[in-house]
Amino acid sequence: MTVLIAFATVEGQTAKIARFISSVAKNAGFNAKLINTDEMSSHVSLDDVVKVVLLAPVHERRHPESFEAFVASNRDALMKRKSLVLSIGLKAAFASGREEARDYLNEMLMRTGFEPNETALVAGAVRPENYGYFEREILEHVVLLGRKIDPRDGAQEFTNWDELTSIMIDFLGGIGPANQL
Ligand SMILES: Cc1cc2nc3c(=O)[nH]c(=O)nc-3n(C[C@H](O)[C@H](O)[C@H](O)COP(=O)(O)O)c2cc1C
C-alpha cells in the first residue's frame, strides 16, 4: 500500500516535513512515494496509491503555483483516495494567526476545487540564510509583525514534530502490522 506525498518548497522546511512524514508512513507499514511538484510533469501515475498527503508552504498568502497546478490537474484521481492537506506557514505558529492561516488554505482549496478528507495547519520555520533583502522585509514587517522574532537572530523552527506524527498516525489509521495487510 502506497502513500503519495506531494509537496512544494521554497526554502526547504516543507521538504524536511515531507521527508519526515514519509518516514512516519514507512514506519506505519506503508510504501511512500515522495514527489516535488516543481520537479515533475503535471500528471503522475496513482495506480498503486491508497492515500495522499499534499503539503506546501505559504509565501505572501499563497501556496506555490506548481503545487496548485499539480492539485488542480490531478484533482479527480487524488480525490478518489483518502487525502490530507497540510498548509505550512508562520501564521500557523501563533494562535492569533491561525484564522488567517486557515483562510490561505481555504482559498487554495477553492481555487483548485480540491476537497480533502482532512486538513491541518502546520507551523514552518524562519530560515534567514535563504532570504534576500525583500524576503527579510516581508517577514519582519508583514508575516511576523508584532512578534518578538527577528530574522536576524538566525534560523528558528516552529514545526511541532510530535503533533505532526500524531496527525499522520491518525490519518494512516494507526501504526503497525494491520497496515501491512
Ligand atoms: C517572503 C516570505 C513570505 C512569507 N509569507 C507568509 C505568509 O503570507 N503567511 C505565512 O503564514 N507564512 C509566510 N511565510 C513563512 C513561510 O511559510 C515559512 O517560512 C515556511 O516554513 C516556508 O516553507 P518552505 O521552507 O518549505 O518554503 C513567508 C516567508 C517568506 C520568506
- Asked if residue 181 has pLDDT above 50, the reply is no
Q: Quote the strand ranges of the chain, DSSP E.
A: 2-7, 31-36, 49-57, 82-89, 118-123, 125-126, 156-157
Mean of all residue pLDDT scores within the chain: 92
**CA-nearest residue, atom 20 of ligand 1:** 124
Grid cell listed for 180: 501491512
- Asked if residue 180 has pLDDT above 70, the reply is no
Decide yes or no: CATH 3.40.50.360 for domain 2-125+158-180.
Answer: yes
Grid cell listed for 91: 501564521
**Ligand 1 pocket: which of 5, 62, 90 to mutate (most atoms <8 Å of CB)?**
90
> In this structure, which amino acid lies at residue 5?
I
Q: Which atom of ligand 1 is nearest to the CA of 9?
A: 26
Q: Cα(138) to centroid of ligand 1, in Å?
A: 9
Grid cell listed for 167: 496527525
Strand-pair category, 156-157 with 125-126: antiparallel
Number of Cβ atoms within 10 Å of the Cβ of 102: 15
The confidence score (pLDDT) of residue 154 equals: 87
59-73 residue pLDDT tens:
999 999 999 999 999
**Ligand 1 pocket: which of 11, 58, 129 to mutate (most atoms <8 Å of CB)?**
58
Give the residue extent of every domain in the chain: 2-125+158-180
Contact 112, 68 (CB under 8 A): yes
- Asked if residue 38 has pLDDT above 90, the reply is yes
Q: Cα(123) to centroid of ligand 1, in Å?
A: 10
The confidence score (pLDDT) of residue 70 equals: 95
Q: Cα(76) to centroid of ligand 1, in Å?
A: 28
Q: What's the rounded mean pLDDT across residues 107-126?
A: 98
133-155 residue pLDDT tens:
999 999 988 898 888 888 778 89
44-62 residue pLDDT tens:
889 999 999 999 999 999 9
3-state secondary structure of 62: strand
